[in-house]
Amino acid sequence: MFREYANKYLKLGISVFPAMSNKVPAIPSWAPYQARMATLDEIEAWSETLSDDINIALVCGKLSKLTVVDCDSEESAETVESLLPDQMEVPIVFTPKKGCRHYYFQFTPGLLNRARYQAGIDVRTEGGYVLAPPSQTKKMPDGKCVDGEYIWHNEYQLGKICPPPMPAELRDYLLSGLKGEGQVRCGEKSEDRSHILVEGTRDQDLFHLALQFFKDGRPVEEIQRNILTAAAICKPPQPEKEALAKIKSAKKFYNEKYRNRTKNDEDASEEPEFIWTKASEVQTKKIRWLWPGVIPLNMSSTIVGDPGVGKTFVAVDIAARISTGRAFPIYWKEGHFETEPTPKNVIYITSEGNPSYILVPRLVAAGADLARIEIYQGIYTSAGGFAILDITKHLPFLQKKVLENPGLYGALITDPLVSHLPGKFNMIDSIQMRQAVDHFSRFTEATGCASITIQHANKDEKKKAAYRTSGSSQLTAGFDISWFVTLDPDNDPNRRLLVPQKVRMTAGTGSLPFLLTELPVKTDDGETSMIGKIEWDREPIEVDVNQAVSPGYGAATTPDRAKSRDFLKGQLASGPKFVLFLKARAEKENISPYLLYQARKDLGIRKAGGGGFGGAAYWFMASDTRPPSGEEES
């Protein structure tokens, strides 16, 4: 649901992001989407990583060219409609609360994003957002949300009509409700405005007051003093801890949205110097392989898998072979080495516990030359403390070390990637993740070494393999080679598969089977412990990556999916039905919208009607020519 409608709103030029059923953003920060539109990759990542019932939030303000008047009662809605010219068509959304509506207008300068402009009337504009159809909310204990769905008016909806300019009569009426409250105008210099606070809007007003002070360049101490003064005279008074939290939120918002605006505007006004070349001037290069058909040199690779399936065993085996110069198993018919393998050093970045107990014993079992394995666990800080190695900051220094020792190093292994990203990194932000992955590409291109990154898979086995990596899809898409380690469901429980998910430059090798065996390794007390190691099978096998990695993907035989198909066949047996009717009936049968749409896909059910984002859409069997039935609003 989210993917389909989010893309439709984006095509209308409206910025979107995901929200929860209680109207709260489903992502750590929605501030970036007030300055730019979400990318298709971000939409895809949100759709794949968030729950099925996620809602769609529309960003109001300048970027979306949108101001929404939110009426919280039938009386306020009647008042707004009385101020609209008779012939004016305005997109209207019926919200879950009975009699409440949203009216969509073009962005209207001079109005603030705030509640209670007039009794029962809020305005959502720059700095605000609204939920949009077909979002659904659930009843909350605080009474702020009720059970229900956002629905477009049949005739007046985005996609059919465009938001008109707000009539002057309506704008003046809204502003008249603020007389005597000292409203802060856009661009106006702020003074001590603690008197603008009114009962019921203190959180919102304190935030915007603090934000205006930051825009004015006031010292932090002065801002804190004024906000705490304003909080003390609220009715009821705002606790000091909550007021300080508003200052912190306003500062974060200001830093993200406004601090770099002047510099960016200056850069945009300059004619850019493009970096380009003719394809005819680019010399093609032969791909060099560390492990033919599996791990390239000069390119980045990643290995993904569930916990405990053997990702690190694969990484350790690769490191051991590099350190001793032992050949890799050759599965690729065109496979060969540029030169005979020679021993090289390996940079192994890890945060997976004490290497004395896990990593080094496995390296011993794999036959590694330990003197050639450099284990990096972190860095010492200037204060004498310890910090995890951050690849976005520290990888260039390791690159410099490799370049200063030509021919010494063969590979960089990072295990796992997620432990070596900045602490506040947003794992589902496609732009941030692509920038992180690009560090490995630059490293391999500069050094000629292989780069192998270990990553965790998420728990959702119903997703396509390309989206099983935890976080953004860029955690797979950004690498040149992507492999999955998984159990082999048809064989010995100790047998594993290394399955190709993405191989850019060759048809690949097929899936590579291996066994986990054990070897005795001496410990510091002179005793021996049985430590796991890999033994590769001689022949590759052909396995569909989605079947191996995502057994739930496309599975049409699960009981829930079968139940949803039977339900839909039964409903449509008597003729076409309106979608809203089917969704309401399905909900009573505990069938989620996701399963309902999957059943439609399984049965090849057709759709008609309902231009725009709501209205009289209905489903029908391909051979059915009868008119739809069932109450549309049911």
**Better-scored residue on pLDDT, 269 or 184:** 269
**Confidence (pTM):** 0.50
What pLDDT band is residue 504 in, cutting at 50, 70 and 90? low
Residue 235 lies in a domain: yes
Residues 214 and 307 reside in one and the same domain: no
For position 584, what pLDDT does the model report?
85
Distances in whole angstroms, Cα of residue 285 to Cα of each of 245, 282, 288, 298? 55, 9, 9, 11
CATH number at residue 596: 1.10.10
Interval 171-197 mean pLDDT? 52
For position 121, what pLDDT does the model report?
92
**Better-scored residue on pLDDT, 150 or 597:** 150
Give the span between the Cα atoms of 619 and 270, in whole angstroms: 53
For position 364, what pLDDT does the model report?
95
Residue 273 lies in a domain: no
Give the range with max mean pLDDT: 87-96, 186-195, 328-337: 87-96
Interval 177-182 mean pLDDT? 51
What pLDDT band is residue 105 in, cutting at 50, 70 and 90? very high
Beta bridge partners of 92: 103
Ramachandran area for residue 182 (φ above 0: left; ψ -120 to 50: alpha; else beta): left
Residues 134 and 214 reside in one and the same domain: yes
Interval 302-307 mean pLDDT? 90
Residue 460 lies in a domain: yes
Residue with tokens 């594993």: 496
The amino acid at 12: L
Residue 16, pLDDT > 70, answer yes
Q: Which of 496, 527, 549 is the last residue of a domain?
A: 549
Residue 139, pLDDT > 60, answer yes
Interval 571-591 mean pLDDT? 87
Cβ–Cβ < 8 Å for 375, 389: no
Give the span between the Cα atoms of 163 and 26, in whole angstroms: 27
Residues 94 and 116 reside in one and the same domain: yes
Give the range with max mean pLDDT: 336-340, 555-559, 625-629: 625-629
Cβ–Cβ < 8 Å for 304, 458: no
Residues 69 and 94 reside in one and the same domain: yes
Ramachandran area for residue 180 (φ above 0: left; ψ -120 to 50: alpha; else beta): left
Output the 3-class SS for 351-378.
Answer: CCCCCCCCHHHHHHHCCCCHHHEEEECC
Residue 249, pLDDT > 60, answer yes
Where in the sequence is the domain holding 46, given as residue range(s)?
Answer: 2-264
Residue 193, pLDDT > 60, answer no
Q: Which of 328, 129, 269, 116 is nearest to 203 (CA)?
A: 116
Among 162-171, 266-275, 351-360, 364-373, which is the least confidently predicted range? Answer: 266-275
Domain count, the chain: 3
Interval 266-288 mean pLDDT? 77
Interval 495-500 mean pLDDT? 87
For position 194, what pLDDT does the model report?
40
Interval 495-516 mean pLDDT? 77
Residues 491 and 397 reside in one and the same domain: yes
Residue 45, pLDDT > 90, answer no
For position 492, what pLDDT does the model report?
63
For position 238, what pLDDT does the model report?
80
For position 180, what pLDDT does the model report?
42
Residues 484 and 613 reside in one and the same domain: no
Distances in whole angstroms, Cα of residue 392 to Cα of each of 348, 382, 421, 425, 454? 16, 19, 7, 10, 16
Residue 55, pLDDT > 80, answer yes
pLDDT > 70: what percent of the chain?
83
Residue 64 lies in a domain: yes
Among 91-105, 131-145, 441-455, 567-581, which is the least confidently predicted range? Answer: 131-145
Chain segment 201-237, per-residue pLDDT in tens: 667 777 878 887 787 777 888 888 888 887 877 767 8
Q: Which of 395, 376, 470, 347 is nearest to 50 (CA)?
A: 470
Residue 171 lies in a domain: yes
Interval 46-57 mean pLDDT? 83
The amino acid at 465: A
Residue 125, pLDDT > 90, answer yes
Q: Which tokens belong to 633?
A: 């609003």
Residues 332 and 476 reside in one and the same domain: yes
Q: Give Cβ neighbours of residue 429 (< 8 Å, ≥ 6 apart).
A: 42, 472
Residues 68 and 121 reside in one and the same domain: yes
Chain segment 309-328, per-residue pLDDT in tens: 899 999 999 999 999 999 88
Interval 42-65 mean pLDDT? 87
What pLDDT band is residue 614 in, cutting at 50, 70 and 90? very low
For position 266, what pLDDT does the model report?
46
Stretch (H or E) spanning 105: strand 101-105
Residues 536 and 566 reside in one and the same domain: no
Among 29-38, 138-147, 478-487, which is the least confidently predicted range? Answer: 138-147
Residue 275 lies in a domain: no
Q: How far is CA 344 from the centre of its chain?
A: 38
Give the range with max mean pLDDT: 73-87, 122-136, 236-250, 281-295: 122-136
Give the span between the Cα atoms of 416 and 455, in whole angstroms: 5
Residue 612, pLDDT > 50, answer no
- What is the overall mean pLDDT for the chain? 81
Residue 608, pLDDT > 50, answer yes
Q: How many CB atoms lie within 10 A of CB 529?
A: 14
Interval 41-60 mean pLDDT? 86
Q: What is the largest CA-CA distance in the chain?
A: 93
Residue 277 lies in a domain: no
Q: Give Cβ neighbours of residue 415 (< 8 Å, ≥ 6 apart).
A: 311, 312, 315, 348, 349, 350, 352, 453, 454
Distances in whole angstroms, Cα of residue 420 to Cα of each of 300, 352, 376, 443, 560? 16, 11, 11, 16, 39
Inter-helix orientation angle 430-447/40-49, to 10°: 110
Residue 473 lies in a domain: yes
Q: Which tokens belong to 429?
A: 């932000």
Chain segment 467-480, per-residue pLDDT in tens: 777 766 666 777 88
Interval 538-562 mean pLDDT? 69
Residues 171 and 210 reside in one and the same domain: yes
Q: Give Cβ neighbours of residue 484 (< 8 Å, ≥ 6 apart).
A: 303, 304, 305, 457, 465, 468, 497, 498, 499, 501, 545, 548, 549
Give the span between the Cα atoms of 338 and 618, in whole angstroms: 61
CATH number at residue 405: 3.40.50.300
Stretch (H or E) spanning 386: strand 386-387
Residues 420 and 336 reside in one and the same domain: yes
Give the span between the Cα atoms of 170 and 179, in whole angstroms: 15
Residues 240 and 300 reside in one and the same domain: no
DSSP designation for 195: G
